Chains A and B, each alone.
Chain A
Amino acid sequence: MGDVTMNVWRGDPTGGDFTKYTLPGQEGEVVLDVIHRIQATQAGDLACRWNCKAGKCGSCSAEINGKPRLMCMTRMDQLPEGPVTVAPMRTFPIIRDLVTDVSFNFEMAKQVPAFAPPPRPEDGYRMAQIDVERGQEFRKCIECFLCQNVCHVIRDHEENKTHYAGPRFFIRYAELEMHPLDTNDRRELVRQKAGLGMCNITKCCTEVCPEHIKITDNAIIPMKERVVDATYDPVAWLGRKILRRQKATPSEAAAHGG
């Protein structure tokens, strides 16, 4: 095999630029392997985040040749020939080199009201496989935050970060909302505090998800429909007035979440 050339962004919050590294190629390598070899042989302080190197922890997110991907799941031999560009995720503040400050996501996680099941029946909870599978799709999320990174509501508008939770948390809200046992109603919360309405369904998040979660089709659009039902549908409003409801009202849940 011949040499590989990597253009890796190096810098800190004050600025930076791409540095070129050339090293011998090796069979079957992923981008993260090459970054590790650069660290070991040429730049010991090249900062990158990683843990499992198996696509399971979601730590090594970066923009490879301009595309947001996991470095550990991007094989070198599947990239076009020529130099490979590796840059940090753009939506989050730089700490150093390829490492960004993703604390925004951990703050948004704190706003999600906890799962609230009814008391356990004597012989345990029963759920059908087909019902848990809807939530299981969203629980495949490895929190790589690539969906957050490409969502232009926050990628291009820093000011929206105060009132927009982003696709990762829309699937979290959807997962709870669709959980067969959950008793909370988070629809008002997801509309007001999480900013679901600002999503304009461009599906960028779905495209980059390494777990192939259908974020837009299976979480965001159904959630938008449920929010609309709760807020604007006169029949549903009347139904709520008349029928005894198992779930808390949206305003109660919003109060709880706030």
Chain B
Amino acid sequence: MAEHETHDYDVIIIGAGGAGLRAAIEAKSRGLRTALVCKSLLGKAHTVMAEGGVAAAMGNISPEDNWKVHFRDTMRGGKMLNNWRMAELHAQEAPDRVRELEAWGALFDRTKDGRIRQRDFGGHRYARLAHVGDRTGLELIRTLQQRAVSMDIDVFMECKILRLLSDAQGVVSGAVGYWRPTGEMVVFSAKAIVLATGGAGKSWKYTSNSWECTGDGHAMALWAGADLIDMECVQFHPTGMVWPLSVRGLLVTEGVRGDGGVLRNSEGRRFMFEYVADMFRAETADSEEEADRWYDDHTAGRRPPELLPRDEVARAINTEVKAGRGSPHGGVLLDIATRRSAEDIRRLLPSMYHQFMELAGVDITSEAMEVGPTCHYFMGGVRVDADTGAATVPGLFVAGEVAGGMHGANRLGGNSLSDLLVFGRRAGMGASDYASGRAGTPVPDQGEVELAIAEALAPFERSDGENPYELHEALQDTMQTLVGIIRTGDELEQALEQLDVLRDRASKVSVAGGRVYNPGWNLATDLPAMLTVSRCVTLGARDRKESRGGHTREDFPSADPEFGQVNLVQRQPSGGGVAGEIKIGPEPIPEMPAELKSLLEESH
């Protein structure tokens, strides 16, 4: 038997971003033996990069705001593909979760009367994003991290989980992984597992995501028998940096537009006025004069088109660049310098100021930024029960970006941080209840342990095999070129062929050196999940023959009402990890209750 250490807990949370931390706090506060396992050091997860804010209908700026309007905005932003129950819970509970953070020490920016300041963002009808300058994610993760540390939650840092483990009855009962600093194997047994592993943007070339976003949770859930939904719905954030090349894709917060930044093409035109979809026409300004009035007084005009949902803006930028009206490095111009004082910009957007000054030599208080779409967020993910976060296999709970449903086909900015808090807590509750009711000691299948360890160590056994870095680059090229922001049936078929080849090559990876903190080996163990998730996205994109939210098909440019009624569900019934066969098919979205439907129809 392969050597490994073992640990036993009631609840294990995999991933220590906002959702994982919030789930751990919940489980621990309910008295369960709780452990948090993360690939990086504590406090470094991708949540740290969230900038603009956390959406919650607190009404501190606009008293007319309430959960019903937030629910409506979220559903419309998601093009009605959302799990309505998640959107409802999210809108109802987000304000309490923000207030809870404040009571745990978070220092949000304040209004003149001392309440939490809220900022405007795309797709939100009212100023709704509680924020700390443009580093809200850092504040959120640090607050939760400090809370978790004060509760004495056990944390396994730099510990990469490879596979979930089931018991003889097929109930999820543990996980196997390794310590990155030593390369030693470790097996956890647990009565319940919470997956909070985030997204998978690292399979694209131009992405705002950090190295960790390799879709581990999506893939492990699928391999363990759980359903994934709507994996084709990937958000390309409209404003990533485009130059220098080494930082291409790095996020430029939507807060720039919320605080007055406008988009112009190379001809100097505010082109977004030409891209207002019918769905948003009634609430969007139709002239620059009207939009400008809105910045000073929200009742004096309708919202500027720069604040349309992200999918709309990203497609518009893509079209402008393709039409030859792009900026020198292939983006468009985002200008806040001519609209805000240098002092305001440095106060409201300090990270953006530094990011451009230090990495691009651009002073955003006097010059425009060059921006273009960047792979940013997975709306699709593991199918869950809204109230508990339970996946479709027993013993598994899921929260945050790795869960699907909440955001439908397109996520509104600010709805991610609130999602983490609302559903992190709920998954923590769900897992705690499940663990408390589960009899006996969980016994993970030893065969699964052996198999996972053997697979992970195989690259050391080979010599002169494939280079994991080259494979990763090839995968990014495939996904960027063929499964990007605009898709076609032919290219998606090509992508599937290339993914077959890459999977075959990945089975021949070899790595140099030992097991101690070996990034080449670490990348080799990330590749199976990246390949599986890339395949799921491509399969979903091939089968959803319509354009909706983050999923745009050039050959099916409109939304199809029939596709609007279904989730595309993927599962892998015969197991087999990255080599297994994935089944995909449409399943009806649950019917929305009449009282919620009426909220969508109200004009507010």
Would A57 and B44 count as touching, CB distance under 8 A?
A: yes
Specify which chain B residues have a CB less than 8 angstroms from the CB of A59 in the assembled complex: 40-41, 44
Specify which chain A residues have a CB less than 8 angstroms from the CB of B146 in the assembled complex: 109, 112, 114-115
Would A40 and B469 count as touching, CB distance under 8 A?
A: yes
Task: Name the residue among A45, A50, A53, A58 with the largest chain B CB count within 10 angstroms.
Answer: A45
Specify which chain B residues have a CB less than 8 angstroms from the CB of A142 in the assembled complex: 48, 138
Q: Return the CB mask of B129-141 against A: 1 if under 8 Å, else 0.
A: 0001101011100
Let me know if B511 is at the binding interface, CB within 8 A.
yes
Specify which chain A residues have a CB less than 8 angstroms from the CB of B114 in the assembled complex: 126-128
Specify which chain A residues have a CB less than 8 angstroms from the CB of B212 in the assembled complex: 51
Q: Return the CB mask of B469-502 against A: 1 if under 8 Å, else 0.
A: 1100100000000000000000000000000000
Let me know if B574 is at the binding interface, CB within 8 A.
no
Cα A97 to Cα B181 in complex, Å, equals: 11
Q: Considering only CB atoms and an 8 Å cut-off, how many residues of chain B contact the other chain?
A: 69
Q: Return the CB mask of B207-238 against A: 1 if under 8 Å, else 0.
A: 00011100000000000000000000000000
Let me know if B588 is at the binding interface, CB within 8 A.
no
Let me know if A56 is at the binding interface, CB within 8 A.
yes
Would A53 and B43 count as touching, CB distance under 8 A?
A: no
Let me know if B363 is at the binding interface, CB within 8 A.
no
Would B246 and A95 count as touching, CB distance under 8 A?
A: no
Let me know if B121 is at the binding interface, CB within 8 A.
no
Would B105 and A115 count as touching, CB distance under 8 A?
A: yes
Let me know if A81 is at the binding interface, CB within 8 A.
no
Let me know if A80 is at the binding interface, CB within 8 A.
no
Specify which chain A residues have a CB less than 8 angstroms from the CB of B511 in the assembled complex: 44-45
Q: What's the nearest-Cβ distance from chain B to residue A223, in Å?
A: 18
Let me know if B243 is at the binding interface, CB within 8 A.
yes
Question: A136's closest neighbor in chain B, by CB?
Answer: B107
Let me know if B149 is at the binding interface, CB within 8 A.
yes
Would B150 and A114 count as touching, CB distance under 8 A?
A: yes
Cα A95 to Cα B41 in complex, Å, equals: 14
Which A39-91 residues have C-beta < 8 A from chain B?
39-41, 43-59, 73, 75
Checking B115, B245, B473 against A26 with a beta-carbon cut-off of 8 angstroms, the contacting residue is: B245
Would B102 and A125 count as touching, CB distance under 8 A?
A: yes
Question: B209's closest neighbor in chain A, by CB?
Answer: A52
Q: Return the CB mask of A138-172 against B: 1 if under 8 Å, else 0.
A: 01111100000000000000000000000000000
Task: Name the residue among B40, B109, B110, B512 with the largest chain A CB count within 10 angstroms.
Answer: B110
Q: A28-B246, A29-B246, A127-B114 are in contact. Are A44 and B46 (CB under 8 A)?
A: no
Checking B49, B113, B243, B513 against A56 with a beta-carbon cut-off of 8 angstroms, the contacting residue is: B49
Cα A128 to Cα B102 in complex, Å, equals: 14
Would B49 and A39 count as touching, CB distance under 8 A?
A: no
Would B355 and A140 count as touching, CB distance under 8 A?
A: no
Q: What's the nearest-Cβ distance from chain A to residue B433, in Å?
A: 26
Specify which chain A residues have a CB less than 8 angstroms from the CB of B250 in the assembled complex: 53-54
Specify which chain B residues have a CB less than 8 angstroms from the CB of A128 in the assembled complex: 110, 114
Would B358 and A73 count as touching, CB distance under 8 A?
A: yes
Cα A30 to Cα B470 in complex, Å, equals: 21
Q: Return the CB mask of A180-200 against B: 1 if under 8 Å, else 0.
A: 001000000000000000000
Would B520 and A45 count as touching, CB distance under 8 A?
A: yes
Let me know if A12 is at the binding interface, CB within 8 A.
yes
Q: A51-B212, A56-B48, A139-B142 are in contact. Are A73 and B107 (CB under 8 A)?
A: no
Cα A135 to Cα B110 in complex, Å, equals: 13
Specify which chain B residues have a CB less than 8 angstroms from the CB of A28 in the assembled complex: 243-247, 359-360
Cα A125 to Cα B469 in complex, Å, equals: 50
Checking B104, B210, B514 against A51 with a beta-carbon cut-off of 8 angstroms, the contacting residue is: B210
Checking B105, B115, B211, B468 against A124 with a beta-carbon cut-off of 8 angstroms, the contacting residue is: B115
Let me know if A106 is at the binding interface, CB within 8 A.
yes
Let me know if A129 is at the binding interface, CB within 8 A.
yes
Specify which chain A residues have a CB less than 8 angstroms from the CB of B108 in the assembled complex: 132
Would B517 and A51 count as touching, CB distance under 8 A?
A: no
Cα A114 to Cα B470 in complex, Å, equals: 46
Checking A26, A41, A75, A179 against B359 with a beta-carbon cut-off of 8 angstroms, the contacting residue is: A75
Specify which chain B residues have a CB less than 8 angstroms from the CB of A239 in the assembled complex: none
Let me know if B2 is at the binding interface, CB within 8 A.
no
Specify which chain B residues have a CB less than 8 angstroms from the CB of A58 in the assembled complex: 44
Let me know if B300 is at the binding interface, CB within 8 A.
no
Let me know if B125 is at the binding interface, CB within 8 A.
no
Would A136 and B132 count as touching, CB distance under 8 A?
A: yes
Cα A140 to Cα B134 in complex, Å, equals: 11
Q: Return the CB mask of B499-528 against A: 1 if under 8 Å, else 0.
A: 000000000000111101111110000000
Would B512 and A44 count as touching, CB distance under 8 A?
A: yes
Cα A110 to Cα B468 in complex, Å, equals: 38
Cα A96 to Cα B180 in complex, Å, equals: 11
Would B49 and A52 count as touching, CB distance under 8 A?
A: yes
- Contacts A73-B358, A124-B116, A132-B108 aside, 12 further interface pairs with beta carbons under 8 A come to A45-B514, A47-B518, A54-B49, A56-B48, A106-B41, A120-B103, A124-B99, A126-B114, A129-B109, A135-B107, A142-B138, A143-B43
**4 A-B pairs with least C-beta separation:** A28-B244, A45-B513, A44-B520, A126-B114
Question: Can you report 22 residue pairs joining A to B where beta carbons are below 8 Å apart?
Answer: A26-B246, A30-B246, A45-B511, A47-B517, A50-B211, A51-B46, A52-B44, A52-B210, A56-B135, A56-B351, A57-B44, A57-B48, A57-B210, A109-B146, A112-B150, A117-B105, A120-B99, A127-B114, A139-B107, A139-B142, A179-B107, A182-B105
